[in-house]
Amino acid sequence: MNKKQIIGIAIFLILIGAIVGIKALNNKEESTKGLTTIYVATGGGKEDFIQDEDVVRILKDKYKLNVVYDTWSNGKTVLWPLIREKVSLGNQSIIDRISNGEEFSINSQEVSKYDALFTSDQRFYDYYKLYPNKEKNEADRYTVLSGGLTLNTPIVIYSWKEVVDSLINENIVTEKEGVYYITDMNKLMNYILQGKKWSDIGLTELYGTINIASTDPVSSSPGATYYGLLLSVLSGGEVTSDNIEANLPKLKEFYIKSGYMNNTPADLFERYLKTGMGGEPMIVDYEKSIIDFANSNPNGFKQVKDNIRILYPSPTIWNSHCYAAFTENGKLLLQAFDDEEIQKIAWERYGFRTGITGGSYDVSSFGVSVPQTITSTVSSLKMDVYDKLIEYLKGN
């Protein structure tokens, strides 16, 4: 092949690429024509739900909304200015200037602002509504026009039939209408603190001391939520400035005895399923995990469902994904989340309960014991309590 032929082929390929690119751009513009585009800074844990084809379709067809979700960590939403350029999106000129050390705020000219914030933890939603703490170098914030709890899932403990049978004999777990509740969480915590072995409660096939595996509360939101629940339990349901000082040392001891911790709930849940009772007798996770697993891997779920047990601490605590609208456009999406079809998808496919109280659902089709409603809960702890808890756990 001579040089002219090579150049000709190269030009042809460039033209084809340009045509494809223009066509794709036109298709994208056509698909969003007549729609209101809403930009949302979004915490993790709900990626599959917000990207669900039917949810996207309903928002477009019924509500004329094109929603762009940008990924943010919860902590950065209060430390960084909430502009798209901080996560390398939007105005490229400003992105370049930020990378060169220039500072911008939500009030700067030509920055790409957000219509809403969708956190994956209520404490960050509550905290965002407060005036920024400039002593901690927190960024200026948008005014929250409306918002609240949108997607909810309670903290649960996953275990296995034989383990739960033994805990029932120890009067730690109670079965009610096919659902298993931890009705004496203090007793279970004391067993762990005392170093009781599995064999001490009749599980001679399990080695080592009784333990509940969780993600690390220092680096993981689910772990922090779980330890917030434990702190509430130790404090009799209400954490005060007096009892927190008395209970933190006990919680630190519990943390040390828990040993190695995963950093992501997905890894922990996968380990629980793969290693079985011998590997992970008990783990902490969200209720939604088993429903998501049952839908995404029906064959795998069929293999383990008869032996899996879901334990609901009494009380438990919600992990709440909260939505904060900053603009009138942002309020449109908040209203759309109340759509019955969207709420049905959130529960049946992804295990999210919706509404302020977590809703009421038909749970008979799942094949595992899930309660219709969650009634025994403690309130989410405020940011300053979590900060104090995590700092104490981190200390030597």
Query: What is the SS3 assignment for 133-188?
Result: CHHHCCCCCCCCCEEEEEEEEEEEEEEEHHHHHHHHHCCCEEEECCEEEECCHHHH
Residues 143 and 15 in one domain: yes
Three-class secondary structure of residue 344 per DSSP: helix
Residues 203 and 277 in one domain: yes
What pLDDT score was predicted for residue 242?
A: 82
Residues 142 and 198 in one domain: no
CA 105, 109, 110: angle at the middle one, nearest 5? Answer: 105
Range of the domain at 74: 3-151
Q: Which residue has the tokens 């079965």?
A: 175
What pLDDT score was predicted for residue 1?
A: 59
What pLDDT score was predicted for residue 150?
A: 93
Q: Which residue has the tokens 């007096």?
A: 242
Q: Is the dihedral of CA 195, 198, 204, 208 positive or negative?
A: negative
Boundary residue ending a domain (151, 172, 201) = 151
Task: Give the count of domains, the chain.
Answer: 2
Residues 159 and 303 in one domain: yes
- Residues in the chain with pLDDT values less than 70: 1-15, 17-31, 355-367, 396
**116-145 pLDDT, tens per residue?**
999 999 999 999 999 999 999 999 999 999
349 found inside a domain: no
Gap between the Cα atoms of 213 and 309, Å rounded: 15
Tell me whether residue 28 is exposed, middle or buried, using C-beta atoms within 10 angstroms of its C-beta: 0 to 12, 13 to 18, 19 or more.
Answer: exposed
> What pTM value is reported for the model?
0.86
What pLDDT score was predicted for residue 33?
A: 81
Residues 237 and 377 in one domain: yes
Residues 212 and 300 in one domain: yes
Gap between the Cα atoms of 273 and 300, Å rounded: 9
Instruction: Mark out the alpha helices in 218-339 (DSSP H runs).
Output: 221-234, 241-257, 265-279, 288-296, 298-304, 328-336
307 found inside a domain: yes
